Structure 1
Amino acid sequence: MDHDQINNQSRGAEGKDTKADGAAVAPQFSRDAVFPGEVVGEVTDLNRQDLEKQKAAQGSAHFHRLGWKRLTVVLIVEAIALGSLSLPAAFATLGMVPGVILCISLGLIAIYTSDVVGQVKLKFPHVSHYADAGQLMMGRFGYELVGAMFALQLTFLVSSHTLTGAIAFGNITNNGACSIVFAVVSAIILLILAIPPSFAEVAILGYIDFVSIILAIGITMIATGINKDSITTAPWSAWPQDGLTFAEAFIAITNIVFAYSFAICQFSFMDEMHTPSDYKKSIWALGLIEIFIYTLTGALIYAFVGQEVQSPALLSAGHTISKVAFGVGLPVIFISGSINTTVVGRYIHGRMYKDSIIRFINTKMGWITWLTLITVITVLAFIIAEAIPFFSELLSISSSLFISGFTFYFPAMMWFMLIREGSPFATHNLWKTALNGLCFVIGMIVLVCGTYASIVEIAHKFKTGAISSPFTCAALA
């Protein structure tokens, strides 16, 4: 229908809406009109196209509201969780000096590789998730491989937070109910918090998340510091203890490596930035905050408690104080966990409805598909966490296999394949060639040695009978 026909129909309609005496008659409106004031029978293909354009524009604007400060908050939500309280135990295994050196050096390397990820996003704006970068490097195979790694790792992280929530509720209530009940409650909370599809909305909860983790760490530090004389049975050591096995040492190293795994979601978050070039401020702010928190947490709590420090360290704070710490840590458990659901949900939803207005999640069908998808992800995460008796060790294997890539060797490959300018041996590229080569080697070491150490740990637990039963009501910690 062209514009002249539309105008003629409009004039015809105007002529019909008058009485014989010339008095105007109000047009009849439809309750189901797509636009306010739409006349019955006047729904046209042009109207529908305009509506879709309007919804697309609204959706695009809704998903481009992140500034660098909110990006920093969202990265903190994704990166810093109660897992940081496993670092004192890593320090106890490795010794104070190696622990501090690894915390600082790996943090600086993670900042650099995150910067490479940001450069790729600026050069290739269409990259919305890590899988798209995989396609740039390795074609369709890379897209499918990296996409599968991305979805699996994030789903496993949701499973991990489901278990952590169950452990927290069990600790707070003295295991007053079946642990499966606590896991179900945790999964429901994670699902509810994952409903907002925009990361700008998650950023609002991020402030609560950050306060929660700082309070949990602070309470643990103060409690262990005050009671150090009564809880310390073996003082801290500057160097590793005698008899340390390779597997034990590398599991401790991977705990530090995984604490800096924020690059996995960076493409997804940057895709919502209104000024993507500001990302450098965010990654430096996050990286330095992480280095400070992780080094201080690992060193101080290890110094206060000594070799017997537990993982997570708040279990070393005493029976009552650990309940308080778990209580104030509940927001970070669920907010940090739910953002993983949101990220993997956005990736799958965007892939399913790539060329449809449904992808903007601002129509009825958009919301139905979104809510269905995140429910499926959450239920799957719950089943994985409860059905696999050695889930924690499985998470270590997946992290060794996948985080080693997302944080280290994939960014190194991106520099060599996507953003390098000139020969890698040109004068201006020499230091970058060496640094990215180092990142690639670190990634390969974590991939091989981390996987080996995790498999050895699983074999040891099977041998000693330390593997729990699936869907057990027994206390988890």
Structure 2
Amino acid sequence: MSAPQHKNVAFDTEKIDIKRTTSVLSSDSSAESLSVGVQIARESEHEIKYRTCSWQKTAALLFSEYICLAMVSFPWSFSVLGMVPGVIVTVTIAATCLYTSLILGRFCIKHPEMRDVCDIGQYLFGGSQLAYNLTAMMFILNNVFVQALHVITGAKYLNTVTNSSECSLTFGAITAIICFLVSLPRTLNQMSGLGTFSAITMGIAVLLTIIFSGVESHPFGYIANQEPLVTAIPVPGTTYVAGMSAFLNITYTFVGQVMIPTFIAEMENPKDFPKALWAVTIAEVVTYTICGAVVYHFVGNQYVTAPAFGSLTRTYKIIAFSFAVPTIIFLGALYSNVAARFVFFRMFRESRHRHSNTVVGWGVWVALVAATWILAWIIGEVIPFFSDMLSLMSSLFDGWFGFIFWAMAYLTLYPGDSKWDGPLRSAETLVNYFFILLGAYITVAGTYTSVESIIESYQTQEVRGVFTCASNAL
């Protein structure tokens, strides 16, 4: 696929009605805001308008992305790392991702013509077509693999609550069809309401998990006279692979920057993005830390599972897991929507099908969304070691999308000697060089850890079959 040519948006006085530029930008005459104003004005006569999200709606999308199923795997990470390192790693990674996301926000504000991470990847690597294509490949694979995870999780939920003889393939297909329907809105503004509901219900699921882990007499699978063991530091004999897996589980949950450029590209006023980011980060730190620490305290090393729903006795497990269903559906739908949007915008760059309710436009949109879910269902069923494969894909992609890209973006914001302008700026520059090294380390170490985990899974015969009807219930 060809990459767009990035050009500064110029005013066309014949096409722009000053009265139609947004009031939120009326007091800000910077070049960046004026470019956004031009985009909004050009959309004013379109049937489908994209730059319509307030910062509150963007916050709802971020909440739905980050207040997610992965957070109920934090007790497992804490059990491997120990309580103290678990809390420290959670807070440190949260601060790191907050900073890199703020850099990303500043970059997108300066370059409002860039609609997604693929545009940014091409820019950061000097306009390279190869960089654009590789970023596009990683972007689409990342999203489709996340969708596949949600297909599998939906089947896991249905298997858990029904105890039926229905084939897991069928449950996965049912999940994919429901997610497909939720993925169909054309703008993120339309998705934000469901995002709010998803984040609220997931928050309830986590709260119930915390409460139930404390009120139940014993965790699920309890063995008489073997009380839950909780340690402040890793237990003796913890391997590098186990420790890195726990560290990466926390890291990958916080690394969601790959979606942020698309969110900012549909904001009325991108300069409000930090408000949304700060709101979700504060919520992340509080909920992730409390969930990880409290649930681990009650279930201990012996009975902890990922997700933590599996540590609860059956009734509690079903109640808590059921509140996570909107997130299973919506978050997968959000990743599908963004992946399909990337391809759709490249197919119809300046065409009326992009911004009008045409039969062709809607037909292609529906086909693209359907294709992502069919591919996600196939991937989820054809890879027998899917969780390890997801970790491998995250290792290959998230070092770039979580750290390296945004450190490079910082270096473009402060070119030449300006990056060494004073002690504070110099210190910040050194931090960003460290993030490049950290991203490289995560890529290499994460890949090694994931491959070792795949080998161990085969050795212990934990790998399930391909296209199997076997239950994957908690």
Which residue of 2 is the match for residue 99 of structure 1? 86
- Corresponding residue for 1:444? 440
Name the residue aligned to 2:7: none
CA distance in 2, matches of 1:346, 1:184: 23
Instruction: Please report how far the alpha carbon of residue 429 of structure 1 lies from its aligned counterpart in structure 2 after TM superposition.
Output: 1.7
2:186 maps to 197
1:374 matched residue in structure 2: 369
Whole-angstrom CA distance in 2 between matches of 1:473 and 1:61? 42
The match for 1:334 among 324, 329, 332 is 329
Q: Look up the match of 1:30.
A: none
What is the aligned partner in structure 1 of residue 206 from structure 2? 217
* Secondary structure at the counterpart of residue 396 of structure 2: helix
User: What is the letter of the counterpart of residue 434 of structure 2?
Assistant: L
Shift of 1:81: 1.2
- 2:119 pairs with 1:132: yes
Cα deviation digits, residues 223-262 of structure 1 (max 9, x gap): 1111255657332100001111111111111110011122
1:84 corresponds to: 71
Structure 2 counterpart of 1:216, which letter? A
1:228 to 1:438, Cα distance in 2 relative to 1, 3 A: farther
With over 3 angstroms needed to count, the CA separation of the structure-2 counterparts of 1:161 and 1:292, relative to structure 1, is same
Letter in 2 for 1:89: W
| Amino acid of the structure 1 residue aligned with 2:83 | M
Kept after mapping to 2: 8 A contact 1:175/1:475:
no
- Aligned-residue offset at 1:457: 0.4
Partners of 1:365 and 1:229 lie apart in 2 by 57
Question: 1:306 Cα deviation (Å)?
Answer: 0.7
**Residue among 172, 176, 201 paired with 1:183:** 172
Alignment equivalent of 2:264, drawn from 245, 264, 270: 270
Contact 1:129 / 1:267 at 8 angstroms: preserved in 2?
yes
**Match runs of 1:205-284 below 5 Å:** 205-227=194-216, 231=222, 233-284=227-278
Cα separation, 1, equivalents of 2:144 and 2:355: 22
Return the offset for 1:393. Answer: 0.9
Cα drift, residue 65 of structure 1: 1.1
User: In 2, Cα distance between the equivalents of 1:294 and 1:385?
Assistant: 27
- CA deviation profile, 1:190-245 (whole Å, cap 9, x unmatched): 10000002111111101210121111111111111112556573321000011111
Deviations 1:263-295 (A, max 9, x none): 110000111100011011111111111111111
- 2:457 pairs with 1:461: yes
State whether structure 2 residue 418 is matched by structure 1 residue 431: no
Q: Partners of 2:178 and 2:415 in 1: how far apart?
A: 44
Task: Confirm or deny: 8 A CA contact 1:162 1:385 kept in the other structure.
Answer: yes
For residues 238 and 114 of structure 2, the distance between their equivalents in structure 1, rounded to whole angstroms, comes to 44
CA contact (8 A) 1:59 1:362 kept: no
- Runs (5+) with no aligned partner, structure 1: 1-53
Structure 2 stretches lacking a partner, 5+ long:
1-40
Aligned partner of residue 195 in structure 1, secondary structure: coil
TM-score, normalised relative to structure 1:
0.86
Q: Distance in 2 between matches of 1:329 and 1:450?
A: 28
2:162 is the counterpart of 1:166: no
For the Cα contact (< 8 Å) 1:79–1:261, is it kept in 2?
Answer: no
Please state how far the C-alpha of 1:60 moved relative to its aligned partner: 7.8
- RMSD, aligned α-carbons: 1.8
State whether residues 224 and 305 of structure 1, in contact with CA within 8 Å, keep that contact through their aligned partners in structure 2. yes
Structure 1 residue 75, shift from structure 2 partner: 1.0
1:466, distance to aligned residue in structure 2 (A): 1.6
Once residues 323 and 152 of structure 1 are traced to their aligned partners in structure 2, the CA distance between those partners, rounded to angstroms, is 31
Aligned residue in 2 for 1:38: none
Q: Alpha-carbon deviation of 1:415?
A: 0.9
Q: Tell me which moved more, 134-143 or 152-161.
A: 134-143
Distance 1:68 1:55 in 2: 21
Q: CA deviation at 1:58?
A: 4.0
Distance 2:355 2:156 in 1: 36
Residues 52 and 189 of structure 2 are in contact (CA less than 8 Å); yes or no, is this contact kept in structure 1?
Answer: yes
Which amino acid counterpart does residue 104 of structure 2 have in structure 1?
A: V
Aligned-residue offset at 1:462: 1.5
Give, in angstroms, the shift of residue 419 of structure 1: 4.5
Verify the 8 A CA contact 2:264 2:273 in the aligned structure 1: yes
**Cα distance change on mapping 1:55 and 1:111 into 2, 3 Å:** closer
Deviation per CA, 1:120-171: give whole Å up to 9, x if none: 1111111100000011111212211111111110010000100011101110
Quote the residue 2:351 is aligned against.
Answer: 356
Q: Contact (CA 8 Å) 2:75, 2:308: kept in 1 or not?
A: yes
* Alignment-derived partner of residue 58 in structure 2: 71
- Answer with 1 or 2: which has the greater Rg: 1
CA contact (8 A) 2:68 2:327 kept: yes
The alpha-carbon distance between structure 1 residues 114 and 469, as it changes in their structure 2 partners (threshold 3 A), is same
SS at match of 1:306: helix
Q: Tell me by how many angstroms 1:367 deviates.
A: 0.6
| Secondary structure class of the residue paired with 1:333 | helix
State yes or no: 1:62 paired with 2:36: no
What letter corresponds to residue 434 of structure 1 in structure 2? L
Counterpart of 1:468 in 2: which secondary structure? coil
Number of aligned positions between the proteins: 425
Partner of 2:299 in structure 1? Answer: 305
1:193–1:335 CA contact under 8 A, matched in 2 = yes
